[in-house]
A and B are shown apart, each in its own frame.
Chain A
Amino acid sequence: MIRAFSAYAIARALGFAAGWSAFTCLLALVTRPMRLGPGFSNLIPYAAAAILLTGTGHVIRAWLGQADSPKRTRNAGLIRDFGAAVLEGVRLFFKGTAAFNNFLFLSVAYILGIGLTSLFMRGKGDGKPESAANPPESHWRELKTGKQEADAFYRPF
């Protein structure tokens, strides 16, 4: 059991390293036109950036409660299990980079989209709570669902 677990961990580490290598090369390639970094002559800065990126991504995933728990071996045969573990390692690396990218884009969307609209709304006085001095007689709201035409149900809104 311990031996199987170790082999599985090694396979995952190999997969992770493969993902790291591929992403390092990709970084060197895409930054070439911008002349960022030393290029293919020295890949160490790109490798450091790649591991920093995926590491940060995994920290974000943990913060968001999305961290993966290690999977068990599947007992589908040695080669298949090994292959699956390698792929899982690759996935683990790219999950980190994807989480980092998502975080970046969503932060921009949140601050510019939600934040500015929210400030605008508040400026206009939308979303203010009802006055406690004059509570309504009833909290029910009218909802006449019986009047809808059949076509309305084919729309997702």
Chain B
Amino acid sequence: MRILGISCHYHDAAATLLSDGVVVAAAEEERFSRRKHDAAFPMAAIQWCLESQGIGIDQVDLVAFYEKPFRKFERILRQHLEGFPRGFKTFQMGMPGWLSEKIRVRSLLRKRLGYRGDVAYVDHHLSHAAGAFLPSPFQEAAIVTVDGVGEWTTTAYGVGRGSSVELMREIRFPHSLGLLYSSITAYLGFSVNNSEYKVMGLSPYGDMDRAANPYYAKLKQVIDIREDGSYRLDLDYFTFQHTDRMPGKRLLHLLDGPVRDPAAPLLPRHHDIAAAVQMITEDAVMAILRQARQATSCDNVVLSGGVALNSVINGRILSHTGFKNVWIQPNAGDAGSSMGAALFAHCTVLGKPRSYRLMHAFLGPEFSDAAIADFLAAKGIRHTRFPDPSALIKEASRRLQAGEVVGWFQGRMEWGPRALGARSILADPGRADMQATLNEKVKHREAFRPFAPSVCAEDVEKFFRCDSPLPLATDFMLMVYPIREEWRARLPAVTHVDGTGRVQTVRREANPLYYDLIREFGKVSGIPMLVNTSFNIRGEPIVNSPLDAYRCMMGTGIDCLFIGNHLVRREDNLQDKWDSESIGTD
């Protein structure tokens, strides 16, 4: 029994293939199309899923779509009715796409894929909930989903038991924590549905004291958060419900100025606003979680939706809500809903037993050593081949110790927005200049954004004041914890301004090569930890193929690339050098 899960048409299109209830392939469309957050029908991702299993679309028994398109369309029409005539432009922008493709999922599947079988439509937040609970290690857990908006729901909680997933209560559009956060993201001059994590990274630069930060009190005026976790936005401050702009005029007035020009410098006022929205979101999420715990009496909680990628909030869940364990799937946003829809279809629509547990995020494309060797030969790329992985690890470790920035392209690509040691850029966290080097030469990004550390799971408590027992979500770089005071000065490249780090724990059973590299680096440097940042050029998605990786290295300041059993050095291939900064945006 094979089920294909699909999410698309809003942002982050993706496909997931299930075989007898087990996820065998999952990937986002952006990795193939090379368009960040690509929302288009995930044709290339689907094709790869099928090819990876050596099957055709006729061998797929069921397609599961991640939302109910007609219900979403109803919500959009309702928005236009309520916003008339202010929504004229958004109506012109959105309707052709809706009428030609978005509500005609079945005909789209027939036209693009030649698929003529059944299609199951799973509600957006039910897909999120299923994507959070069904691959989790728990037999019973409270489920909380918080994102921008699905069909109508923006926030929901419920419970998962065995193979069943049930949502009990919801908050409906236009009242949305995700859209509040996105509105402030837009206000701060960052791109919506893309740069919310920058606001999170910026927040510790502001005043994180609720009583002292003036914008905390101001932003509290726009949202009414109740003790039971329910909330409501004051819509007079927003325009997203009927136009394509996010902050309304009253919000600009409340925040003492116009929307920041992306090219303008960030002022202390902007830092405080970022801090305020982060604290308010945290207040609301913690209240929702406490309510979910009270209503379900579960000790475990799973989270999903875009807000579940807020790793600062995630790191505080266990200490603030009474839950004893937390799990978040590595692709908690809309892309992960393709997995949720497929698993939900397997367990609920078809009534099959739950048989899958997501132990690692390496579910994407893989390139064999022979394929990589062929690529290098075909392109005439000078390289060195290692006879075995241990020699490769030793050489990589030596180069990292020497201060080089290393591209790491190994095994199957990660599922989700974080690079977890398969498509990563690695560096020494102990070098004071490494953060600036990575920001300026490689990533071309804002100086305030921190880099994340990878540590072996057994070592994490040595460096971090983290929850005990350690939640599995740390494997997916989804939790921020304080770095122990004695280590902060020794780990300048990964210590954020507030002394925290977005840690990724590495387990040998999940990624042995990367685990061994960290261990080897620990032997030579004394600190078994690496800076791990996503392998991409600014404005592009994480690399997928050897060509993407090589192009990225030659367009940035990455010194060398370990790709399969091969080492490619930048200085040996300067004929292919180019400047990625010339194309990079946001």
Contacts and interface: CB of A to CB of B under 8 A. Distances in A.
A140 to B, nearest CB: 4
Interface stretch (B89-97, B180-188, B256-264, B503-511): B89-97
Nearest to B291: A140
Main secondary structure of the interface of B (DSSP, over half): mixed
B170 A141 contact: yes
Contact of A143 (B167, B226, B229): B167
Contacts of B93: 64-66
Contacts of B119: 154, 156
A38 interface: no
A45 interface: no
Given A121-B81, A139-B231, A114 B91 contact: yes
B230 A106 contact: no
A150 B91 contact: no
B9 to A, nearest CB: 13
Interface residues of B, number: 56
Given A118-B84, A145-B158, A138 B92 contact: no
A68 interface: no
Contacts of B584: none
A144 B95 CA distance: 31
B169 A156 contact: no
A150 B121 CA distance: 10
A133 to B, nearest CB: 14
A140 B348 contact: no
Contact of B84 (A114, A138, A146, A155): A114
A139 B226 contact: yes
Contacts of A142: 168-169
B222 to A, nearest CB: 14
Interface in A44-81: 60, 63-66
A19 B349 CA distance: 50
Contacts of A123: none
Contacts of B235: 129
Nearest to B156: A143
A156 B68 contact: yes
B120 A153 contact: yes
Interface string B165-201: 1111111100100000000000000000000000000
Nearest to A148: B348
B88 A150 contact: no
A155 B156 CA distance: 22
Interface string A102-116: 110011011000110
A138 B70 contact: no
A138 B105 CA distance: 36
A106 B92 contact: yes
Contacts of B231: 139
Contacts of B224: 135, 139
A127 B345 CA distance: 35
Contacts of B165: 145-146
B56 interface: no
B103 interface: yes
A102 B96 contact: yes
B286 interface: no
Contacts of B166: 144-146
A141 B171 contact: yes
A115 B85 contact: yes
A106 to B, nearest CB: 5
Contacts of A107: 88, 92
B162 interface: no
B120 A139 contact: no
A66 B89 CA distance: 12
A119 B82 CA distance: 9
Interface in B57-97: 65, 68-71, 74, 77, 80-82, 84-85, 87-89, 91-93, 95-96
A150 B171 contact: no
Nearest to B93: A64
A119 B89 CA distance: 19
A138 B121 CA distance: 30
Contacts of A143: 153, 156, 158, 167-170
B81 A156 contact: no
B91 A106 contact: yes
Contacts of A118: 80-82, 84
Smallest CB-CB A-B distances: 7 pairs:
A146-B166, A157-B70, A139-B230, A118-B84, A143-B170, A140-B169, A140-B230
Interface of A: 60, 63-66, 102-103, 106-107, 109-110, 114-115, 117-119, 121, 127, 129, 135, 137-146, 150, 153-157
28 contacts: A63-B89, A107-B92, A110-B88, A115-B85, A117-B81, A121-B81, A127-B82, A135-B224, A137-B226, A138-B228, A140-B169, A140-B171, A140-B229, A141-B169, A141-B170, A141-B171, A143-B156, A145-B158, A145-B165, A150-B351, A153-B121, A154-B118, A154-B120, A156-B70, A156-B103, A156-B106, A156-B119, A157-B71
Given A64-B92, A140-B170, A144-B168, 16 more contacts: A107-B92, A114-B80, A117-B81, A135-B224, A139-B171, A139-B224, A140-B171, A142-B169, A143-B168, A145-B126, A145-B158, A145-B167, A154-B121, A156-B69, A156-B106, A156-B121
